[in-house]
Amino acid sequence: MAESAPRLVEQVMASITRRIAARELASGAKLPSIRQLAASQGVSKSTVVEAYDRLAGDGAIQARPGSGFYVTGRTAPFALTEVGRRIDRAIDPLWIMRQALEGDGDQRPGCGWLPESWLPVDSIRKALRTAARGAGAGLVDYGTPLGFPPLRQQLERRLGERGIAAPPSQILLTESGSQAIDLVCRFLLAPGDTVLIDDPCYFNFLSVLQAHRVQAHGVPQTPDGPDLAVMEQLAARHRPKLYLTNASLQNPTGASLAPAQAFRLLKLAEEQDFLILEDDIFGDFAGEGTVRLAALDGLERVVYLGSFSKTLSASVRCGYIAAKPEWVEGLTDLKLATSFGNADLSARLVHQLLTDGSYRRHVEGLKTRLAGARSETARRLEAIGCSLWTEPRGGMFLWACLPDGIDSADLSRKILTEDIVLAPGNVFSISQSAGRYLRFNAAQSASPRIFEALARAMAD
């Protein structure tokens, strides 16, 4: 795909740089909005977007969420993007997170969650009314150190159904799945350690590992799980402390670990003596035959985590960790030190939602609806010349390969001017080898406008 008007982009960049040098735009000053500058300079919005992105990439200006672009002042003492690998600053993981979180009213096939209309809003309203009638202590007190006991009992049963034996004393509630990952990393890792991740993987794994100042190495993903031959070589060479992975319906590819792979992976972890953090936040979307490492391993060298952000609500946030008894104490200490208690109200609401009987029906309904949405989205993607890397057995994601010669970051930048937020492949790839891929959320891809705009942009 041709770079759109590179000369114009550079002209816009030069004019901004001049104004900063001349102190017309002082440190901290707000830049004109994209629309304003496009109008005043007589260029397209996409030209301004690219100019701002590149200036931001140079560190001259910075985006401030919900507000616009500003002239950079003194650099921040700790910037995630300055630590470790620098991933295409114009479209990096934090860029995509912010776009997806901010774009109100936009089409967001690139985002990682279900639309409001798919979630059990009425059940949540009911749970809030129930909480309003409940005991006062639950509304104002700090929770117990491990978190609301009845929810941990519920979780014991739910994990038991997945073959994971964990009594409530081995289950620690957290504010979210993200907080759970952060907490486990803090507990198991020290700065300078090495961690294996999937390539591609959930982009936030890269950010959180950077925040922990550890070295990450990517293991190529196959439709049956990580490439174990490569993993073995990496493990022998780098002596990793941890392998961080999705349990099932891998983000972004939708791949699921085959049972034979799971067994070999655990043997490898034992031989090479690394631990595994198994993030199963999509676990409720997975089918019956799904294998969990934590179940095979008995929580010996696997720490397991989940949350309800994907099936219930991302606003009523609640995650959990299941770990071996010897580690629960230290994890709890760290949780108290860094967040004191829990949002106990959220835990109570989730417990209420799990016990009112509608959760299973809700999840079954979601599975059926997602299967339909995946088929429909796959059909539309194929109609515009994209192919699927694998056919996921559940969940919301499709990993789509673009036609030859189309770069997914370019395409994402371009189509953002039509208020469509995509998830370009390289934000998920530590090796930056996924430039031809896009992650599609089937539940957010119902509008034909998305595929019309994509077809136009690809032909451009």
Residues between 292 and 311 that touch its own copies (CB under 8 A): 309
For its own copies, the closer of residues 113 and 285 by Cβ is 113
Measured from the CB atom, the residue of 16 and 388 that comes closer to its own copies is 16
φ, ψ of residue 283 to 5 degrees: the values are -55, -35
Q: Any contact of residue 289 with its own copies (CB under 8 A)?
A: no
Residue position matching structure tokens 């994509």: 454
Residue 17 beta carbon to its own copies: minimum distance, rounded to whole angstroms: 19
- State the binding string over 33-72 for its own copies (x if CB under 8 A, else -): -----------------------------xxxxxx--x-x
* CA-closest candidate to residue 323, choices 189, 178, 169, 174: 169
* Residue 282 identity: F
**Are the C-beta atoms of residues 279 and 289 closer than 8 Å to each other?**
no
User: x/- site string to its own copies, residues 321 to 340, per CB under 8 A?
Assistant: ---xxxxxxx-xxx-xxxxx
Residue with tokens 């609640």: 318
SS (H, E, C) the chain: CCCCCHHHHHHHHHHHHHHHHCCCCCCCCECCCHHHHHHHHCCCHHHHHHHHHHHHHHCCEEEECCCEEEECCCCCCCCHHHCCCCCCHHHCHHHHHHHHHHCCCCECCCCCCCCHHHCCHHHHHHHHHHHHHCCCHHHHCCCCCCCCHHHHHHHHHHHHHCCCCCCHHHEEEECCHHHHHHHHHHHHCCCCCEEEEEECCCHHHHHHHHHCCCEEEEEEEECCEECHHHHHHHHHHHCCCEEEEECCCCCCCCCCCCHHHHHHHHHHHHHHCCEEEEECCCHHHCCCCCCCHHHHHCCCCEEEEEECCCCCCCCCCCEEEECCHHHHHHHHHHHHHHHCCCCHHHHHHHHHHHHCCHHHHHHHHHHHHHHHHHHHHHHHHHHCCCEECCCCCCCCEEEEECCCCCCHHHHHHHHHCCCECCCEHHHHCCCCCCCCEEEEEHHHCCCHHHHHHHHHHHHC
Among 129, 239, 267, 449, binds its own copies (CB under 8 A): 129
Least Å distance, CB 75 to its own copies, is 7
From the CB of 87, what's the least distance to its own copies, in Å? 13
C-beta of 247 vs 353, nearer to its own copies: 353
Beta carbon of residue 178, minimum distance to its own copies (angstroms, whole number): 4
Site for its own copies in 348-377 (CB under 8 A): 348
- Closer by beta carbon to its own copies, 133 or else 157: 133
In the window 384-403, what residues touch its own copies (CB under 8 A)? none
Q: Supply the minimum distance, in Å, between the C-beta of residue 334 and its own copies.
A: 6
Choosing from 5, 131, 268, 446, the residue that interacts with its own copies (CB under 8 A) is 131
Residue appearing with tokens 């059940």: 123
From residue 219, give the alpha-carbon distance in Å to each of 116, 263, 429, 431.
34, 17, 10, 10
Residues binding its own copies: number (CB under 8 A): 96
**Interface map 67-106 toward its own copies (x if CB under 8 A):** x--x-xxxxxxxxxx------------x--xx--xx----
Angle at 153 between CA 157 and CA 143, to 5 degrees: 150
Is the CB of 196 or the CB of 457 nearer to its own copies? 196
Residue 103 CB, nearest distance to its own copies (Å)? 10
CB of 404 to its own copies, least distance (A): 34
312 binds its own copies per the rule CB under 8 A: yes
**Interaction of residue 26 with its own copies, rule CB under 8 A:** no
Nearest to its own copies of 36, 315 (CB atom): 315
Residue number, 48 or 146, with CB nearest to its own copies: 146
Q: From the list 5, 314, 446, 455, which residue makes contact with its own copies (rule: CB under 8 A)?
A: 314
Task: Judge contact between 309 and 279, C-beta under 8 A.
Answer: no
Residue from 54, 126, 158, 367 that binds its own copies (CB under 8 A)? 126
Q: What angle do CA 145, 300, 308 make, to 5 degrees?
A: 50
The verdict on 228 binding its own copies (CB under 8 A) reads no
Q: Which of 25, 43, 51, 146 binds its own copies (CB under 8 A)?
A: 146
Residue 124 interacts with its own copies (CB under 8 A): yes or no: yes
Interface mask toward its own copies for 206-225; x: CB under 8 A: -xx-xx-x------------
Cβ proximity to its own copies, 41 vs 215, nearer residue? 215
Build a one-symbol-per-residue string for 166-205: x at contacts with its own copies by CB under 8 A, - elsewhere. Answer: ---x-----xxxxx--x---xxxxxx------------x-
By beta-carbon proximity to its own copies, the closer residue of 160 and 330 is 330
**142 lines the binding site for its own copies (CB under 8 A):** yes
Q: Does position 144 bind its own copies by CB under 8 A?
A: yes
The least CB distance from residue 182 to its own copies, in Å, is: 4
